[in-house]
Amino acid sequence: MPSPLVLSVDAMGGDHAPESIVDGAAHFLKGRQRPVRLILHGDEARIRPLLARHTALAEVCEIRHTDQTVSMDAKPSEAVRRARGSSMWNAVHAIKDGEAHVAISAGNTGALMAISKVILRMKSGVHRPAIAASWPVPQGFCTVLDVGANVDCAPEQLVEFAVLGESFHRAVHRVSRPSVGLLNVGQEELKGDQVVRDADTLLREAGLDMDYRGFIEGNDISAGTTDVVVTDGFTGNVALKTAEGTARLVGGWVREALTSSPLAKLGAALLSMGALKQLRARMDPNNVNGGVFLGLNGVVVKSHGGTDGPGFATALRIALEMADSHFLTEIEQNLARLEAVQAAAPQSGSEEEHA
C-alpha cells in the first residue's frame, strides 16, 4: 500500500469555515482508497467538536492550533505582514517544511497568493503565478488560466501561462499533446487589444514544441475547442463566475420545471431520475471547485470562499490529484525549454514574420 499523501488544510478560510471545511473533508474521505492524512490548521476549540461527529475522519486528521486568521477582505500586502502564524500561513508553510504535499484554502485569494509566493517562491522563469481551473466540456475538461490571480498581464506572461497550462493539462488530464488557444473577442488577426495580439505573435514565433491553435472566442471554452485556454485573470475570473451563475440558473429552471406540479413530478419519475441526477451533477459548479496556483515551488489549491462541504470535498480531491501527479516536473521541463528559446532568440538574427 502506498504511503499516505498529506494534505495541509486552512480550516478557518472561507465564508462558512470551519464547518464547511470539516464537512467537506468528511465527504472527501468517503470511499477513498488512496491513503491520506489531513493537517487542519485553525482554532482547535471550534474544530474538535466538529471532528467528533466524523470518527473515520478524526482518525486521519491532526489539528494544529492557531487562533489567528486572515480576513476575507484583507489586502495582500497587509496579509503578508500580519499573517505569520495564521491558519493560512501555517497551511502553506507545511509544504516548505516538508510535512505536507499540498495546501488547500478557501480563504482570501489575494492573501493566499501573496503568502504562497513569500513562503514557496516562484519557479525560475515565472514572473507571476496563475490560477488554473478545470472547466467541464463535452469530452471531459479543458484548463482555463488565469482565472483570478493577475488582473493585468504583459504578453510575455500570457506566454508563460500557455507553458504552465499545457504542462498542467498533460499531467493532470493525461493528454499527451494538449492544444492551446488564446482567448480573444474574435479569431481574426487584427481582433483584440495589443497585449493579446503581441502574445499571439510571441507564441507563434517562440519555437516552442506546442500545439498552439491561435485565437479562440468565449463560446469555444465550453465547446472544448482547445484543451488549454489562456487569458488574463480579469477576463478569466469574469468568464468563470458567469459560467457558474448560468449553470445555477439553468439548474434552477430544470428543478422548477420538474417540480411545478404533481403531474410534472410524475413525468420526471417516468423519465428516469437517475439521468436527471447525472445532469444535475454535471451542471453543479461545486463539482469543479478548486483552482490550482501554477508557477510556485509547491502545490497550492484555492477553493471558492463561499463553498459548502461537497464543494470543498472537490477541492480536496483536486489537491490529491495534484499531489499524485508529475505536473511540477512537467512545468520545470517546459519552463526550461522556454528559457532556452528566449535566451537563443537575440542571437538568432531577424526572422521573417509569419503571414
Q: Compute φ and ψ for 140, nearest 5 degrees.
A: 125, -115
More confident residue, 349 or 40: 40
Q: Compute φ and ψ for 88, nearest 5 degrees.
A: -70, -45
Q: Which of 23, 10, 130, 154 is nearest to 72 (CA)?
A: 10
Report CA Rg, the chain: 21
| Strand ordering across the sheet containing 228-230 | 61-65, 36-42, 5-10, 102-105, 300-302, 291-294, 130-137, 140-145, 228-230, 179-183, 211-216
pLDDT at 29: 92
Is residue 287 scored above 50 in pLDDT?
yes
User: Are 178 and 228 in contact, with CB atoms under 8 Å apart?
Assistant: yes
Is residue 75 scored above 80 in pLDDT?
yes
C-alpha grid cell for residue 179? 492544444
Q: Compute φ and ψ for 134, nearest 5 degrees.
A: -90, 120
Strand locations in the chain (E): 5-10, 36-42, 61-65, 102-105, 130-137, 140-145, 179-183, 211-216, 228-230, 291-294, 300-302
pLDDT at 15: 92
Looking at residue 286, what DSSP letter applies? Answer: G
pLDDT band for position 37 (50/70/90)?
very high
Q: How far apart are CA 211 and CA 167, in angstroms?
A: 12
pLDDT at 207: 78
Mean pLDDT calculated for residue range 48-60: 95
CB burial of residue 261 (10 Å; 0-12, 13-18, 19+): exposed
Query: Taking all residues of the chain, what is their mean pLDDT, rounded to a whole number?
Result: 86
Domains defined along the chain, listed by start: 1-125+295-326 (3.40.718.10), 127-293 (3.40.718.10)
Is residue 341 scored above 80 in pLDDT?
no
